[in-house]
Structure formats: C-alpha cells, structure tokens
Amino acid sequence: MPLVTTTEMFEKAYKGGYAIGAFNVNNMEIVQGIVDAGKAEQSPLILQVSAGARKYAKHIYLVKLVEAALQDSEDLPIALHLDHGDSFQICKDCIDGGFTSVMYDGSHLDFEENIKITKQVVDYAHAHGVVVEAELGRLAGVEDDVNVSDKDARFTDPEQAVEFVERTGVDSLAIAIGTSHGAYKFKGDPYLDFDRLEKIGNLLPNFPIVLHGASSVLPEFVKKCNEFGGNIPGAQGVPEEMLRKAATMAVCKINIDTDLRLAMTASVREFLQKNPSEFDPRKYLGPARSAIQGMVQHKIKDVLGSSHKI
Ligand code: G3H
Ligand code: 13P
Ligand code: ZN
C-alpha cells in the first residue's frame, strides 16, 4: 500500500473514540521499531519528521527509509508527516518531496499572520493531495507557572479555533491545553484543561484535534537512564490516563517523541554499562530498536486504543 493521508485514519479514530500515535523518526532503528510495533498491533501509524530530523538524517534518507518500511509492512496504513514546519517553504519542500501530511506551525505569530500563511500552505497542499495540520495557542513550558490569566492568554481560545479552521480550511488543529514538549512538563501536579478541549470539540464537531507534547515520561525509563549514568532529575510527563481520556474526546492525533528518546537511551546506557568491552553498534542499536518497539506497542495498546484498527 502507498503512503496514505491522515483523512481516513482520523475519521475512524474520531468515531471510534481512539487516537493515532504520531511518532518522531530520525534514523533506521527508530523507523523499524515503530513500524514493527504497528505491524504487531495492526495499528495505523503516523511517522513524523521534524526540521531537526531532516537536518540530521537528510530528507531523502528518511523518505527512503519510510518507503522501505512500507514495503515491509504488509498493508499497514502509514502517513508521512512534517512536524512543526515553520515556513511555507519547508512545507512545500515536504509536499513536493513525498510527504502525505504537513504541519505548518504559526503558533508564535499573531492570529491574522498565522491564518495567512496556514491558508497559503493549505492551498498548495490540497492542490497536491496532501493534508495540513496547523497550531493555535502556545504550548506551556515548565518554566511557566500556569495561573488562570495565563491560561486564557496562552491556551487555545475556542471561538478563535472555529474562526481559524473556517478561514484556513485546515484538516486538523493542534491546540494548547497544558501539554508541552520535552521531559519537564509540569512543576507541580499535572493539569490539562479538559473543559476547553470539550468546548472546542463541541464547537467543531467531527473535526480532528491534535495534542503535541504528549509523552508521559514514564518513571521506570527515567530511573533506568539515571541508574546507568544519566542525569535527568525531576522529569515529569502527561499521565497516561489523561491521554486516554483525550483520545475518547476530539483528539485524534497524539504526538510522542520524548518517550521514544528515553526508551532508546535507557537501553543504550544499560547495554554499554553492562558490556564495557562491546563496541559493535549493532549490539546496542538492536536492543534500542526493540525498546522503541516495546514503547510504541505499549502506547498503541494501553494509551491510544488504535490496536486492530486497520
Ligand atoms: O516537537 C518536537 C519534537 O520532539 C522533535 O524534536 O526538533 O529535536 O527533532 P526535534
Ligand atoms: P513530546 O516531547 O512530549 O514527546 O512531544 C513530541 C511532539 O509534540 C512532537 O511534535
Ligand atoms: Zn510538537
């Protein structure tokens, strides 16, 4: 099966009350680990590539790796998505270069400018059979203490979300309700604004919402990293039960990168510390790939609910 867009995946996920995992890919072992998990769970997948990943591995290598994974994946629906495109040009390059979905992230811009560039990307993408995700609102950072007035200033405004979707024609929208990127998401108790999510879902019926910054930073993996020479103190993610709840609401795409990084790094650290005389990269990258697969299978089965949904 060729690469697909996210349209059908999201329609089914919305109706079925589950979400599709969007996992960041940077090299062969990560692509293989994720796709092997998708095969084992018979789950649709979104493989997403950031600007940093394109810089690290080169666009062409990532596209060819994903093409190889498709050939090896027994008819699994897979979308190839640009994560956080910050200009029309990078979105165009990915549309022209084989992606089936792009994100234009204008969340740092003012409302009108965000609409203007998002619409430009949507027009180009739709003319080429590609779907577009945009972002409205700013994701919180751990340095930010979220109080009530901050929430209204930074979290996605439901009425603005409706106007944004109508004026841009975008296919999905990433919203800010309290998640943030990386391993340090909350200083105190984790909090997501589910009332806001519900309101956005009611105002935009059947429209797929995206959650960025949705890693859970599972303590066992942080502990393993630290036990084998790492130094990641005070890391905290979004509790998995909150993500399960979001997946039953309007959220159809859940972005996970940090949890894959932690799984891979914990595995490599453990192997190298336990086997100081080994220097064959396959010896530690093999288990690292299996660690990615294990993490993705866990997410699909226990968090997203996308097993056996192809
Ligand atoms: O949202 C960011 C993703 O985790 C990708 O991170 O820009 O370091 O590749 P990156
Ligand atoms: P995490 O850092 O929580 O994994 O978020 C990843 C993400 O949002 C990629 O766009
Ligand atoms: Zn993101």
Nearest C-alpha to atom 8 of ligand 1 is from which residue?
A: 52
Average pLDDT in the 37-41 region? 98
| Catalytic residue (choose from 36, 72, 75, 83) | 83
In angstroms, rounded to a whole number, what is the distance separating the alpha carbons of residues 70 and 65?
Answer: 9
Which one-letter amino acid corresponds to residue 218?
L
Summarize the annotated binding site for dihydroxyacetone phosphate as residue ranges. 182, 213-215, 255-258
Residue with tokens 């990615």: 292
**Cβ atoms within 10 A of the Cβ of 272, count?**
15
Q: Is the CB of 26 under 6 A from ligand 2?
A: no
Taking CA atoms, 63 is separated from 3, 27, 226, in Å, by 11, 11, 34
- Judged against a pLDDT cut of 70, whether residue 238 lies above it is answered with yes
Closest CA to 93 of 56, 137, 63, 134: 63
Rounded to the nearest whole angstrom, what is the distance from the C-alpha of residue 166 to the centroid of ligand 3? Answer: 23
Kindly give the residue spans of alpha helices, DSSP state H, lying in 42-87: 51-57, 59-71
Q: Which pLDDT belongs to residue 237?
A: 98
Note if the pTM is more than 0.95.
yes
- Helices 28-41 + 59-71 axis angle, to 10: 30
Summarize the annotated binding site as residue ranges. 84, 105, 135, 181-182, 212-215, 255-258
Q: Which pLDDT belongs to residue 151?
A: 78
Annotation: CATH topology of 6-303? TIM Barrel (3.20.20)
pLDDT higher at 220 or 149: 220
Q: Which pLDDT belongs to residue 152?
A: 77
Mean pLDDT taken over the chain: 96
Q: Which ligand is nearest to the CA of 83?
A: 2
Q: Which range, of 17-21, 83-87, 167-171, 187-191, averages the lowest pLDDT?
A: 187-191
Q: Which pLDDT belongs to residue 307?
A: 98
In angstroms, rounded to a whole number, what is the distance separating the alpha carbons of residues 132 and 266?
Answer: 34
Residue 123 annotated in active site? no
Q: What is the pLDDT of residues 183-213, one digit of tens each?
A: 999 989 999 999 999 999 999 999 999 999 9
Q: Measured from the CA of 50, which atom of ligand 1 is nearest?
A: 9
Q: What is the pLDDT of residues 108-158, one digit of tens each?
A: 999 999 999 999 999 999 999 999 999 999 997 665 555 666 777 799 999
Q: Which ligand is nearest to the CA of 213?
A: 2
Backbone angles phi, psi at 189, to 5 degrees: -70, 140
Residue by residue, DSSP assigns 242-304 as: HHHHHHHTTEEEEEE-HHHHHHHHHHHHHHHHH-TT---HHHHHHHHHHHHHHHHHHHIIIII
Q: Which pLDDT belongs to residue 142?
A: 60
Cβ-proximal residues to 123 (8 Å cutoff; 6+ apart), any chain: none
Please report, to the nearest 10 degrees, the dihedral formed by the alpha carbons of residues 227, 286, 44, 117 taken in order: 70
Q: Is the CB of 84 under 6 A from ligand 1?
A: yes
Q: What is the pLDDT of residues 90-107, one digit of tens each?
A: 999 999 999 999 999 999
Average pLDDT in the 70-82 region? 95
Q: Which pLDDT belongs to residue 245?
A: 98
Rounded to the nearest whole angstrom, what is the distance from the C-alpha of residue 258 to the centroid of ligand 2? Answer: 6
In angstroms, rounded to a whole number, what is the distance separating the alpha carbons of residues 187 and 184?
Answer: 8
Q: Which pLDDT belongs to residue 144?
A: 56
